[in-house]
Every structure is written in C-alpha cells, then in structure tokens.
Amino acid sequence: DGQVAGYAEYRRRGPSVAFTHTVVEPEFEGRGVGSALARGALDAVRAEGASVLPFCPFIRSWIQRHPGYADLVPEARRAQFGLAPG
C-alpha cells in the first residue's frame, strides 16, 4: 500500500557499502520485514560486486545467522565484526 515498513541506512566507502543502521517500523515487527530488508540489501551489494561493512548490529547479526553472506565482508575485516575468517 506504499507504506514504508523499514529501511537500512548505509554509506558508500570506496568499493564497500557500510551499513550503519536498520529500522523496522513497530507495526511491521515480527513479520520478517527485517530479514527481507537485510537479504535484499545484501543481495543488491553482491550483484554490484561491492563488499559490506556491517557496522549496524542488525545487519551484522543477520550475517552471523546466515553465513552464506559472510563472504561479502572483506576477509581482513571479518574478525572486527565477529565473523569467522575464510
């Protein structure tokens, strides 16, 4: 219906996209909006061949729960974000 359910804030840093904050509006919480938002944003970054810096705690924890996305974080930075190397 055109209502904003949530959004992810980010900044471009060279070849990386730094996610800084994610918001899901209260009336949409618990409906999988955050997961859909994270997956869509990370898939878009992957499609453009960029890397991810997950400063946002939600995006970071989502990647931790979905290790197939950990490769988007540069290997040298994974430990900084609590992600297993390689």
pLDDT of 66 over the 80 cut: yes
Per residue in 20-42, pLDDT (tens digit) is 999 999 999 999 999 999 999 99
**Residue with more model confidence, 85 or 35:** 35
Q: How far is Cα 77 from Cα 6, in angstroms, rounded to an integer?
A: 27
* CATH topology classification for 6-80: Aminopeptidase (3.40.630)
Domain ranges of the chain: 6-80
pLDDT of 86 over the 80 cut: no
State the pTM of this model: 0.91
- 61, 55 in Cβ contact below 8 A? no
The mean pLDDT value for 36-49 works out to 97
Q: How far is Cα 60 from Cα 54, in angstroms, rounded to an integer?
A: 5
When pLDDT is cut at 50, 70 and 90, the band that residue 2 belongs to is confident
